[in-house]
A and B are shown apart, each in its own frame.
Chain A
Amino acid sequence: MSRHSARADAVSVPHAGRPGLAWAIPGVLFFLVFAAAPMVLVGYLSFTDWDGLGSPSWIGFDNWSRLWNDDGMRNAVWLSVLLTLCTWAVQTPIALLLGVWAAGRQRYRAVLSAIFFLPLLASSVALALLWRTLFDPNLGLAADVAEWFDLETADLLGSSRGAFIAIVFVASWQFVPFHTLIYQGGARQIPRSLYDAASIDGAGTVRQFFSITLPQLRNTVITSSVLMVVGALTYFDTVLILTNGGPGDATRILPFLMYEEGFRTFELGYASAIAATLVVIATGVSLLLVRLTGFTRMQSTREGL
């Protein structure tokens, strides 16, 4: 709450220009129909058998017991978890370092930040196409790189591990700018006085980073991490275009498995069970992260200032 509204609470004239709830109805209805209701419906559909043409027929827990025993599902969950961890571990240090660096107000930092930002503007489809071309073992940049470093093969996407690494790399390349901006915003709000006091006490840059910048950015780290986790669980465009889930099932992550079951083999009931699992995992992980780090207590990182 801002200072304004805190004060306003004390002196406001009752009903002075207060809109009725009717104003919100169009927006709320629209949101309920196209976003909230589908959340509920996906649960319902996961108990049905549906090929996408007729109407769904209730089959009880069949989809769920099949899901529980599906090796493809286990593989997909494992890959999604691994992808989440890897993209987090790659993006966080880079974004943190770049974001704090970019928070400086020098002109050249602003210019470089504007360039860093570019990948974020393009669609995942456009970027995945670009990287698909670059990774081409015969014609792409990969061929040149393999030659320079005398690598055995230039076919990164041809091996299971290589394809997975490629997904992590492309996703990070695309989303580091977003998280850099978040960290930049966070770092700019750290009071200058903290650094001044620390320098007077003789703390060096490294010391200042670990004793001031990092603790002050705690909430920013949580925000960015939650967004990364939810983001990583939903990479789909990149996988579809870059590897198509392959080679074999090496990059068949949860949303991709759902797409295949739903819109390639048209088992939409079973695909709904996968989608529902996706929702549960995404919500669960975010809540866990928020709970573990004490974000809900809404402690201010500026306490005692």
Chain B
Amino acid sequence: MTQTQAGTVAERRPATPPGTPAGRPARGPGRRLPRGNYPAGFAALLWLAVVVIPLYVLVISTLQDRASYLENGPLSLPTSPSLDSYQRVLEGEFPRYLLNTLVVTVSCAAIAVVLSVTVAYTVVRNRSAISRRTFQLFLLGLAIPSQAVIIPIYWLITELQMYDTLMAVILPTAAFSLPVSVLILVGTMRDIDEELYESMALDGASQTRILLQLVVPMSRAGISTVGVFAALGAWNGFLFPLILTQSQENRVLTLGLYDYIGEYRADIPALLSAVVLSIVPIFTAYLFARRQLINGLMGVGGR
């Protein structure tokens, strides 16, 4: 796929802004040095404020105690900052929700990776009409909104006797992450050189060995992107757990947060602490998996 190739070429480009957008007119012809772009820079600073202020209020509010939040509002610096509100949340059901979410996230990522690797391998390497149709099927799947099919899925899950289990959340969530995963991996696997396949085939390698020793190592970047995306989608998913689970023991984080609206009606610092606690694991993961996430998303625009 050209997008990944162009992407790597772009990486090697010198450090100059390729597209300096709406800004002041150039002072003269032939200016080739990178210009500062004040209007866009100003817009970026403005957006920075729009992004950072709510996040600042979020964090600062969690450090207050209930009474001082009610009295002084969200913007005031806490007079005696404390982590009590976090403690209140962690002593409740939060750890259980976190554990459930972890189970769902890891399972979804694993299912998505294994199934999309095998599907993409077939799509790329099997040249029959059926494999082309298979790819088209998954491409169509990109456009299915999960809301649109939640009722039949609810039906399916109750018929399978899986209502109110973590499995009920895992299966549809993983299925809905497949189209993007297949798309990403087909792009990555197309870039593997044909000669490598041929030399392995000449050595008499089986399909399984070619997959495990050539295709998987060569598509590591794509596979980690797929894993990260599937995990993020599962971690943040709300509709499937909302409809397909009920009891507290099978509650995931997003559903738990929704529930806290009632439970912490009078305890805003605790409510917001729960929000922070639900985000922290992803922010931490983001620090490590930033490249996979960003490259995957940027690739979308490079078509």
Does B230 have its Cβ within 8 Å of any Cβ on chain A?
no
- A277 to B37 alpha-carbon distance, docked (Å): 45
Q: Tell me which of B69, B145, B254, B272 has the highest count of chain A C-beta atoms within 10 A of its own C-beta.
A: B145
Interchain CB contact under 8 A, A207 and B25: yes
B220: shortest Cβ distance to chain A, in Å? 18
Between A and B, how many residue pairs show CB distances below 8 Å? 400
A180: shortest Cβ distance to chain B, in Å? 9
Give chain B residues whose Cβ lies under 8 Å from the Cβ of A19: 121-122, 125-126, 207, 210-211
Interchain CB contact under 8 A, B236 and A34: no
Give chain A residues whose Cβ lies under 8 Å from the Cβ of B200: 17
Q: Name A's interface SS.
A: helix
**Which residues, 1 to 60 on B, are CB-close (under 8 Å) to A?**
1-3, 5-7, 10, 13, 15-26, 28-32, 34-35, 37, 40-41, 43-44, 47-48, 50-52, 54-55, 57-58
0/1 string, A225-250, CB within 8 A of B gives 1:
00100100110110011000000000
**Which residues, 181 to 208 on A, are CB-close (under 8 Å) to B?**
181-190, 192, 195-196, 199-208
Partner of A124, one of B54, B211, B236, B260: B236
0/1 string, B78-121, CB within 8 A of A gives 1:
00000000000000000000000000000000010001101101
Does B248 have its Cβ within 8 Å of any Cβ on chain A?
no
Interchain CB contact under 8 A, B54 and A20: no
0/1 string, B246-287, CB within 8 A of A gives 1:
000000011001101100000010011001001100110010
0/1 string, B104-148, CB within 8 A of A gives 1:
000000010001101101110111101100100110010111111
Q: Enumerate 23 A-B pairs (CB-CB under 8 Å) in ascending A order.
A: A2-B191, A17-B197, A21-B128, A39-B148, A39-B149, A39-B152, A45-B155, A106-B15, A118-B283, A123-B235, A123-B254, A124-B236, A133-B61, A144-B75, A178-B297, A187-B18, A192-B16, A209-B21, A237-B254, A259-B147, A268-B154, A272-B151, A279-B145
- Chain A residues near B (Cβ < 8 Å): 1-5, 7-8, 11-13, 16-21, 23-24, 26-28, 30-31, 33-39, 41-42, 45, 52, 56, 94, 96-106, 109, 112, 114-119, 121-126, 129-134, 139-141, 143-144, 173, 176, 178, 181-190, 192, 195-196, 199-209, 212-213, 219-220, 223-224, 227, 230, 233-234, 236-237, 240-241, 255, 258-259, 262-263, 268, 271-272, 275-276, 278-279, 282-283, 286
- Chain B residues near A (Cβ < 8 Å): 1-3, 5-7, 10, 13, 15-26, 28-32, 34-35, 37, 40-41, 43-44, 47-48, 50-52, 54-55, 57-58, 61, 69-70, 73-75, 111, 115-116, 118-119, 121-123, 125-128, 130-131, 134, 137-138, 141, 143-156, 171-172, 174-176, 178-179, 182, 190-194, 197-198, 200-202, 205, 207, 210-211, 232, 235-239, 243, 253-254, 257-258, 260-261, 268, 271-272, 275, 278-279, 282-283, 286, 290, 294, 297-303
